[in-house]
Amino acid sequence: MSSAIGLSDPETPVTAASDTAASEAAASGTVALGTVPSGVGAELLPSTAEDGPAGLAIGGVPLTELARSFGTPLFVYDEEHLRQRCREAVAAFGRDNVAYASKAFLCVAMARLAHEEGMLLDVASGGELRVALRAGLPGDRIVLHGNNKDDAELRTAITAGVRHIVVDSFDEMDRIERLHTVEGLAPARIYLRVAPGVAAGAHESIRTGGNDSKFGFGIAGGAAASAVRRAVDSPAMVFEGVHAHVGSQVLDVAELAAGAAAVARFAVGVQARRITIGGGLGVAYETGQSAPSFAEWATRVREAVRGAGWAGDVGVEPGRSIVARAGLTLYRVGTIKQIEGVRTYVSVDGGMSDNPRPALYSGRYEAFLPRCPGAPRPLRARLVGKHCESGDVIINDAALPADLQVSDLLATPVTGAYGYAMASNYNKLPRPAVVFVRDGRARVVVRRETDEDLLRLDLPDPAYPAGT
């Protein structure tokens, strides 16, 4: 990272009030009333980020050049950053103990990359499973999750020989036994997902380990123990271990360790052979935040499970912490609306269709202009998308350079997780392209949707069947 982006001083005191005054102050080199955040934090940018004559470059390619070549909105991923994060996770936990949670971001290229770097792949639906198989992954490097797997998903997984299926309910056990008895499918290798009574995470919607959860068998009340007994006795299942996940965007490893200890105590009691404690490790989304390393996570979790009597390995499933910081989103500014005495609105050509996290989880982000990533950002504005929703807000109170103008290229960093993965066609907007960059080159790994794509599922002049 070039020091030209420099954020050692996250806020600079200022002395003027209005957007106009801030612009004049920036032009004259003075400062204005309130606080002026400096450029975007280096800790939020991909590892190969450098500031140069053409502005910020990722993987040796200027972001302005990527926008000209591929359009906006655009998801840009630093491939070297992705690979390094995979290697760090494998080094911390071991090749057979760490699975990439593909729900955070999945395409064929990402599945291949994670596999090449020694990770298993955690998929949570039949669609994600098909992407993994299309990418060429062998079945025994894939793990299937899901709280409501149907027969087709289970059939595909068992036939493909996935490493194991994480069973979530007694109804799912019924389906597995029916497929074994009626269709003659091989016994399924399974983990049982348990709810350990420990929930963590930055928002209620991403806390998954509590007793009141749609996921897993509750340890409290005995459901988990009953599930173990049934799995052990069933000829349709091979009971291999216990899984739990306490939540997402967890920045305190003590919470993850507490969940791991609860799972370990249960696993020791039922004589399970393996445990997986899921993912959930958080990332920094705003300047000044920090997140634990994989090594810190591994150390605390191992201490916790040893203290609970578990002597074996521990599996984990990081997703967000692999891909979030590796990716950023490029937008083009379309309108700037100043409401005197209220606020300034800055609208871009994307929005909640490519990043629903602010609306769903109150997710918070930073923004900057790639042409001047280290510039002071005295302008306060609400950064919004182009959808017909007042809730289409990307950043409620964004800090932006004073000379922001229509047609500027704008970037939001740390959008590599749950941006493209949760993208939609709301208002019939095409989903953005996804580009990987490395060593001065860019490759499109997911093409931009077209108008034809938006119409391809509509049938021309559909008629009702005769006689109805």
- How far is Cα 155 from Cα 192, in angstroms, rounded to an integer? 18
| Assigned token pair, 301 | 């979790």
Q: Is the dihedral of CA 148, 152, 155, 157 positive or negative?
A: negative
3-class DSSP assignment, residue 11: strand
388 is an active site residue: yes
- Identify whether the C-beta of residue 281 lies closer than 8 Å to the C-beta of residue 292: yes
Burial, 247: exposed, middle or buried (Cβ in 10 Å; 0-12, 13-18, 19+)?
Answer: buried
CA angle centred on 446, ends 445 and 448, rounded to 5°: 135
> CA 75 to CA 325: how far, in whole Å?
12
Give the type of residue at 453.
Answer: D
Residue 1's Cβ-count burial label (10 Å; 0-12, 13-18, 19+) is: middle
Q: Whats the size of the chain, residue-wise?
A: 468
Query: 58 with 91: CB under 8 angstroms?
Result: no
- Cα 91 from chain centre: 21
- For residue 304, give the 3-state DSSP assignment: helix
Q: Are 207 and 246 in contact (CB under 8 A)?
A: yes
| pLDDT, position 211 | 59
pTM recorded for the entire structure: 0.89
pLDDT at residue number 3: 35
Q: Is 27 exposed, middle or buried (0-12, 13-18, 19+ CB in 10 A)?
A: exposed
Yes or no: say if 383 and 346 are a contact pair by the CB < 8 Å rule. Answer: yes
Rg (CA), the chain: 24
What was the pLDDT predicted at 248? 81
Considering the candidates 86, 107, 372, 388, report the single residue annotated as catalytic.
388
CA distances (Å), 296 to each of 65, 255, 300, in order?
38, 13, 6
Tell how far CA 71 is from the center of its chain. 23
pLDDT in tens, the chain (468 residues): 443 333 333 333 333 233 433 343 333 332 222 357 778 889 999 999 999 999 999 999 999 999 999 999 999 999 999 999 999 999 999 999 999 999 999 999 999 999 999 999 999 999 999 999 999 999 999 999 999 999 999 999 999 999 999 999 999 999 999 999 999 999 999 999 998 876 544 445 444 444 567 778 999 889 999 999 999 999 999 999 999 988 888 898 988 898 899 999 999 999 999 999 988 899 999 988 899 999 999 999 999 999 999 999 999 999 999 999 999 999 999 999 999 999 999 999 999 999 999 998 888 999 999 999 999 999 999 999 999 999 999 999 999 999 999 999 999 999 999 999 999 999 999 999 999 999 999 999 999 999 999 999 999 888 898 875
